[in-house]
Amino acid sequence: MSEVFRELTIQWQGNEYTFTPSLALLRRIKAKGIHALALANACIKGGADPIDLTDVHRVFMAEAGVKVSEDDSYAFITGGSEEMIDFQLAFVAAGLPSIDLGLPSIDLGKKPKPQPKPRKRVNSET
């Protein structure tokens, strides 16, 4: 599974915590009634539920070995800090491990323009 999930670093109260997500971690999130793919999509497009993000934050911090209260986690999520935005990006990377957020371009389904086919010349004698 280590080929699928990459090590993530999140910040909390000025400290950095590193862990590698796993399918078991995503299942713990799902067991809380959170659809990881839908929440990751909401993080990208906007409108992510702060209560769901609070639960995910607490699961991530527990994975990193830190116990965080619901109120402290909710204050972090709703505070709008740069650390919170980095946390959302880390969640997206964990929930959608096949997307490399470090690349400047992501395949958005655009197809390359087809190459023109050479035309055959027809000799017409008149």
pTM equals 0.72
Cβ contacts of 98 within 8 Å, gap of 6 or more: 4
At residue 114, φ and ψ (nearest 5 deg) are -70, 145
Our separate counts of H helices and E strands in the chain read 5, 2
Q: What is the pLDDT along the chain (126 residues), one digit of tens a residue?
A: 446 788 888 898 889 999 888 889 989 999 999 998 899 889 989 889 999 999 999 999 999 999 999 999 999 999 988 889 889 988 888 877 655 444 333 344 444 556 666 666 666 565
* Per-residue model confidence (pLDDT) at position 8: 87
| Residues forming beta bridges with residue 19, ordered by sequence position | 8
**CA-CA-CA-CA torsion for 94, 96, 102, 108, nearest 10 degrees?**
-170
Measured CA to CA, the distance from residue 125 to residue 8 in angstroms comes to: 72
